[in-house]
Amino acid sequence: MTLLIHGTCVAVEGRGALFRGASGSGKSDLALRLIERGAQLVADDQVVIDAGEQGLMAWSEPRLQGKLEVRGIGILDVPSVAAAPLLAIFDLCAPEDVPRLPEAEWSELLPGHKVRVFHLAPFEASAPDKVRLTLAALTQL
């Protein structure tokens, strides 16, 4: 079973982070800032999710692999990987909508496969660092 999600996914040291939000919410912008810090693009705009041996996997449609839409510039080729295990979902929102000390939130994208969900203000300077730290912390659990 596969699922197609409107979002952007990057791999940070092989760990997948999915960004969800409305058009213009900062998904590709945050991905670009992470890529400039060594992450790799998994998929932009259309993320394919399926269940694999390692849990949920995020993939790119082959025709879109390595392509990132950079608002105001166009579609650019960026460092990418074909797939990554999905460790976290970041729902992008305004800074005032980010809970200070959130309760654990989960999303069951596919039956039997839950992923931790976080709310993040993508245009804050620390947003890429928050993604990296979150993925590292989840890996240690």
Quick check: pTM over 0.85?
yes
Mapped onto helix, strand or coil, the DSSP state of residue 137 is: helix
* Average pLDDT of the residues in 56-77: 95
**Mean pLDDT over each residue of the chain, to the nearest integer:** 95
Q: What is residue 54's predicted lDDT score, i.e. its pLDDT? A: 72
pLDDT band at 141 (very low <50, low <70, confident <90, very high): low
Residue 82: domain span: 2-140
C-alpha triplet 52, 15, 19: angle, nearest 5°: 95
H-type alpha helices, 1-141:
27-35, 127-140
132: domain CATH number is: 3.40.50.300
pLDDT tens column, 42-53? 999 999 999 977
Q: What is residue 37's predicted lDDT score, i.e. its pLDDT? A: 96
Give the chain's domain count: 1
